[in-house]
């Protein structure tokens, strides 16, 4: 099987994020593999081990994404591809999916796995957009995947309930928490990863004109949520508390 994983390098949101001049500050920020993409990587490796074939992990980003690609290789992916966008200004979900679609053009693809959502941009658009561009089936937020020949049986999470879908390859799926338990790279895995292929492509290597990847959206402003104010504890008889609460909701919070 030809299995591909699309992986995004993201901010570690456990870290404290600061914003300088309307841009998220990269000073001292820690970066990780988007956690949902770790499920995608793990699933790809398990499917390869069961069905044979090869797993290629691909990312769009700068040179620094090499670190996360090496981690994916250490987990067990066979090959990696970095599409370097350092010299390309501004991009959005359209840009990312358009670049990926161009990369996949003419390739023999059985399965593409990605995360259900990136924990930074958080739009959950790249997977479905890419599948549309490639004109292949897709299933999002999956928690189980069985492949039997050309047939795929997928369980997807629908707000806590499950939906079972049967479809066929080629297929794109996006991973939800619970799909599997991603492994940690082992020491031999880390050593092996150093010798595994990492192909680097520039935008110019793909058949894309500037206006092909022009973003369709523009970020106007980025800001942190307002600090939470201290809560108010009401005291006294229940009846008085209810009166005070209603008055606060009407006059202070202005919600009734
Ligand atoms: C040329 C270029 C320049 C950019 N410049 C900026 C910028 O200046 N500022 C900024 O904030 N953002 C920039 N971006 C990132 C972009 O705006 C979005 O963050 C990105 O398209 C993904 O959207 P999302 O985070 O909502 O992902 P989602 O759609 O939520 O991601 C879902 C899944 O799609 C896959 N995926 C998402 N992004 C990538 C990727 N890059 N590579 C491989 N797989 C991926 C992963 O599997 C991920 O789990 C740029 C992107 C490109 C291509």
Cβ–ligand 1 distance for 123 under 6 Å, the answer yes
Domain that holds residue 141: 2-212
pLDDT in tens, 156-182: 999 889 999 999 999 999 999 999 999
Question: d(Cα 79, Cα 199) in Å, to the nearest integer?
Answer: 8
pLDDT in tens, 192-239: 999 999 999 999 999 888 788 999 999 888 888 888 888 889 999 999
pLDDT in tens, 89-118: 888 999 999 999 999 999 999 999 999 999
**CATH number for 193:** 3.40.50.620
Domain count, the chain: 2
Cβ–ligand 1 distance for 121 under 6 Å, the answer yes
| Domain match, 185 and 245 both | no
In a domain, 219, yes or no: no
- Which atom of ligand 1 is nearest to 203's Cα? 1
Question: d(Cα 159, Cα 254) in Å, to the nearest integer?
Answer: 31
Q: How far is CA 76 from each of CA 48, 67, 128, 131, 144, rounded to the nearest angstrom?
A: 10, 15, 26, 25, 20
Cβ–ligand 1 distance for 171 under 6 Å, the answer no
Cβ–ligand 1 distance for 102 under 6 Å, the answer no
In a domain, 45, yes or no: yes
101 neighbors 85 (Cβ within 8 angstroms): no
When mean pLDDT is compared across 21-35, 41-55, 81-95, 106-120, the lowest value belongs to: 21-35
**What pLDDT does 24 receive?**
81
Residue 216 in 3-state DSSP? coil
| Domain match, 207 and 231 both | no
Question: d(Cα 61, Cα 66) in Å, to the nearest integer?
Answer: 9
Ligand 1 center from residue 95 Cα (angstroms)? 8
| Domain match, 99 and 26 both | yes
Cβ–ligand 1 distance for 95 under 6 Å, the answer yes
β-strand partners of 179 = none
43 has a pLDDT exceeding 90? yes
């Amino acid at each position: 099987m030809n299995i591909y994983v699309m992986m995004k390098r993201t901010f570690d949101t456990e870290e404290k994020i600061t914003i300088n001049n309307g841009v998220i500050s990269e000073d001292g920020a820690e970066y990780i593999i988007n956690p949902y993409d770790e499920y995608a990587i793990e699933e790809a490796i398990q499917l390869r081990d069961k069905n044979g074939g090869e797993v290629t992990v691909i990312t769009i980003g700068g040179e620094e994404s090499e670190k996360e690609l090496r981690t994916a290789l250490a987990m067990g992916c066979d090959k990696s591809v970095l599409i370097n966008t350092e010299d390309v200004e501004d991009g959005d979900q359209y840009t990312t999916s358009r670049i990926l679609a161009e990369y996949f053009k003419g390739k023999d693809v059985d399965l593409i796995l990605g995360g259900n959502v990136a924990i930074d941009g958080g739009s959950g658009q790249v997977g479905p957009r890419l599948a549309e561009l490639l004109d292949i089936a897709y299933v999002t937020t999956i928690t189980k995947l069985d492949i039997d020949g050309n047939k795929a049986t997928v369980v997807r999470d629908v707000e806590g309930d499950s939906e079972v879908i049967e479809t066929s390859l080629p297929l794109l799926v996006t991973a939800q928490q619970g799909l599997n338990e991603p492994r940690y790279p082992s020491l031999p895995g880390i050593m092996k990863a150093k010798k595994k292929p990492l192909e680097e492509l520039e935008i110019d290597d793909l058949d894309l004109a500037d206006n092909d990847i022009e973003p369709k959206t523009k970020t106007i402003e980025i800001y942190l949520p307002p600090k939470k104010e201290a809560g108010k504890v009401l005291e006294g008889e229940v009846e008085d508390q209810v009166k005070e609460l209603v008055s606060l909701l009407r006059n202070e919070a202005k919600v009734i």
